[in-house]
Amino acid sequence: MNNFFEQQDHARRESRKLLMLFALAVTAIVVVVNVTLAVAWQYAMRGHGPVRYPQGFFIAITIGVLLFIGLGTLYQIFQLRDGGDAVAEMAGGRLVPPDSTDLHERRLLNVVEEMALASGIACPNVYILDEEDGINAFAAGFQQNQAVVAVTRGTLERLNRDELQGVVGHEFSHILNGDMRMNIQLIGVLFGIQMLALFGRELFEWGARIGGGSRSKDDKGPSIGLIMLVVGIVLFVVGYVGIFFGRLIQSAISRQREFLADASAVQFTRNPQGIGGALQKIGGLSVETGCGSAIQSSKAEQLSHMFLGAARPSFLSGMFATHPPLEERLRRVYGKDVQFVQADVLDDDEFGNEGNTQSSLSSQFSSFSGGSASQQAFTAVQSGVHGDEGFGHHAGNPAQAADNSQLLKSGLAMPDDARALAREPQSAALLVCAMVCDQSQAAQAQQQQQQILRAGLADATALQAALRAAAGISAVQRLPLLDLAMPALKRLPENTRQQLLSVVAALIQADGRVSETEFVLQAILEQRLNPQAARAVKVRYADLVPLRKEVALVLSLVPQGDAATRQQMFMQGTASLRNLQLQATDWINPDQLDYQAVRAALAQLNQLAPLAKPMLIRGMLQMAQAQNSLSSARTHELLRSVCAAIDMPVPDLPAMLQDMS
């Protein structure tokens, strides 16, 4: 199975290398601008005796160029600080409401929900590029649990359900493999380099307007207008030289990540015809109309590295292309050469009957009914794909996957009423409050209901409906349902989101104590709904050693039983973390745990490098395995909550346990 943590670490290292290469490109631009302006100064000063450069001439030019590039980069990164939503809006995307009943939109939302629940991350916001007739898509965001998925109108109208699932699987690979953050950094740096070219164009236009009417007193030398004209042209050309080199670096990295995402799409869906069929239709549409995967937006060039297919045709192929040739991608998917196919718009009858088709993937993802879709999605995601000739020759391990699928079986079979409430902002907020309410004690339940009504989040009728839905949710269903509700909750106005967090905190404090379940729900809500939630989290720690106390605190949550048993299990779990040198005295009795300290510890652990995070999960699994509690609802909920807090997908449990043995 593809190791997502290794891929995230690779993407992070590629990001650092990328910045170094761009620094070299910027250095080259600075040198070229200095040389060009030095020659221009000599030309302007001819006839005035020996040419002397003003004091600080080259320093001023260097600072000026760096300021233009730096400020341009910072400006664009600031514009995109809110992550995926900002990028989707920049591309002209329209946010799809989670409760949409449009046939095309509902199918897309179902597919995204299935994949999100299968991979154990919050359901992304979904956008549609309504003005784009080509077949294309992208994923964007700084964090896995704050991502967005955007598709074009052509993708919705021309792809059947299997193919749409392949495209979504491709984009989920970018989410899970850590590509999104690097892609946003690329947008900012490219814009910074482009600023120089934009300034050159403005200078050129000023020079053209001034013309030759401004000369020195003795009428010697070129006019100021001509100098501005020449300098403007030079800066324009030099600026685009920087973009040229930027595109070269951008394209090389983008191509390799597309191959990986194609492979992952097959791995997720266990059907090469999904992503393969979509790529075939892109090729067919290119031949038929020239549209293919083309994006008409003015931002297409700037965002080209993020898309499923080439957003703009490249004037040079090979190393300058942002995407590999379709023929090569298809050869890797199928293990052989295949032909392009027509990409006609699906008619209503064909589209409406898709759910009855007998393709392997359609039978797995059957409209998300009864939870079977998500179970099968989880099996598909976790089972893995291997092939000698191409991605399509897969032979995953169903028995291994079944262990994970069984763990989540009851959790993903969500009641229809709860699922429906989770898709609308106000009802989703009310459902969250209802999940926190303790309905086992009548007096306390009445008090909590009054708190909700006083907050104005709902009327009594809506509250009772939410309470009935919450009563039908099992313990293992709570966090998946919270993941499903995230797009709706994020649509709430900022003040309403803060009010929801306040109400949840008050409901939890109603009985004067905080249970483990209440802490988990509150921590995830606060992490994902706070105003800074979509911002980038800086990696500060390469391994667990600097966070020894934080690791001990989180691991202390896992063991169950009396104090002696818990302490013994703690030591067994830390056996896989020998470099931390944890002792029995590092164990903290859960009765003495401060959940605010746990929350702070998780925030610190979220700043770990990707390859260090699985080590923490291995320690948790070691403890659960020692107590034979791997399949318990409590273990699953705790595992899923820690994964959510440190921004990683729910892991392949059997594979991780095998690694530990």
Known catalytic residues are 171
DSSP letters for 250-275:
HHHHHHHHHHHHHHHHHHHHS-HHHH
DSSP string, 612-629: GHHHHHHHHHHHHHHTT-
Q: Enter the tokens of residue 431.
A: 């459902």
CA distances to 12, 264, 473, 612 from 9, rounded to whole Å, are 5, 17, 37, 9
Q: How far apart are CA 272 and CA 636, in angstroms?
A: 31
Q: Which DSSP symbol is given to 209?
A: H
Q: What is the b/e burial string over 218-243, where b = at least 16 CB atoms within 10 angstroms of the residue's CB?
A: eeebbbbbbbbbbbbebbbebbbbbb
Among 597, 603, 596, 544, residue whose Cα is nearest residue 574: 544
Residue 531 vs residues 95, 142, 498: alpha-carbon distances, Å: 19, 14, 9
Q: Letter for the amino acid at 175?
A: I
Q: 608: which DSSP letter?
A: B
Nearest CA to 178 among 500, 608, 546? 608
Give the DSSP H or E segment for 248: helix 224-269
Tell me the DSSP string of 351-380. HHTGGG---HHHHHS-TT-TTHHHHHHHHH
Q: Which of 95, 103, 140, 111 is nearest to 491 (CA)?
A: 95
| 464-486 CB burial, b ≥16 within 10 A, e <16 | ebbbebbeebeebbbbbbbbbbb
- Cα(586)–Cα(556) distance, integer angstroms: 9
Residue 365 has, within 13 A of its CA and on its CB side, a CA count of 34
Q: Sign of dihedral through CA atoms 563, 565, 569, 571?
A: positive
What strands, in cross-sheet order, belong to the sheet with 137-140? Answer: 94-95, 125-129, 148-152, 137-140
Tokens of 182: 């690097």
Tokens of 651: 């892991």
Q: Which residues have C-beta within 8 Å of that of residue 351, sequence separation ≥ 6?
A: 103, 104
DSSP string, 87-129: HHHHTT-EEPPTT---HHHHHHHHHHHHHHHHHTSPPPEEEEE
